[in-house]
Amino acid sequence: MFELIPAIDLLGGKCVRLSQGRYDAATVYDDDPGAVAARFAAHRLQRLHVVDLDGAKKGRPCNRDAVRAILAAMKDVPIELGGGIRTLADVEEWLELGVERVILGTIALRDPALVKEAAHRFPGRVGVGIDARDGRVAVEGWLETSETEALTLAREFEDVGVAAIIHTDIARDGMGTGPNLEATGELASQIGIPVIASGGVGSLDHLKAAASRPEIAGVIVGRALYDGSIELADAIDVVDAIASAEAACS
């Protein structure tokens, strides 16, 4: 099933959104991430995506209190968390606290063996975040761009138990101009791991386009839910309608 995944990005304990990954272009939407999560939890969701932006930048988990508040508010809705998770101890800590899936980004490039070990220890509970700038992997909270291509990194994790890959086109993130479905679809078609698109969803038409791509497993929606461009209930209805139409044709 195609997954519609709302996002909460944390910076200084607040719910924010960045534009193209720029920390100096953060917009604060709410001082209470737990309250935001509770509003999301009022809808029928498959999971929630949470990013510890401070952690991604500093290289260690931050915003623990905010994540705990989100966990309490979401109750039975699974939460995936990324940002600053660089060790097996970090992975274990978050999973023990109730996070359903951890997303490993920088460490996937720096130490792929660690990601493979985590995926082996915790089957189905480890995802890989591949954030790309012009097709090349960016790390350290998007502050550094490597020479490694997104597909090269993704292939590193074939058949090791990684649950999903989240592919973000940094140039689209927070801009509302539409996700890079071409790049995400191309990546998804060349690997056997489910690939989720992230960055750029700004309208229901963007969502329809993503949900209509059979090779893409889901999409993460952030800013559009906060600025009112998309209502979550409408987004859920759109995804349900496409799923129903596809089921009727199969």
Give me the active site residues, please.
9, 131
In 10 A of CB 42, how many CB atoms? 9
Q: Which two tokens stand for residue 205?
A: 């038409």
Rounded alpha-carbon distances, angstroms, from residue 17 to 120, 160, 212: 33, 32, 26
Q: How far apart are CA 222 and CA 161, in angstroms?
A: 27
Q: How far apart are CA 32 and CA 213, in angstroms?
A: 35
DSSP for 86-123, written as a single string: -SHHHHHHHHHHT-SEEEE-HHHHH-HHHHHHHHHHST
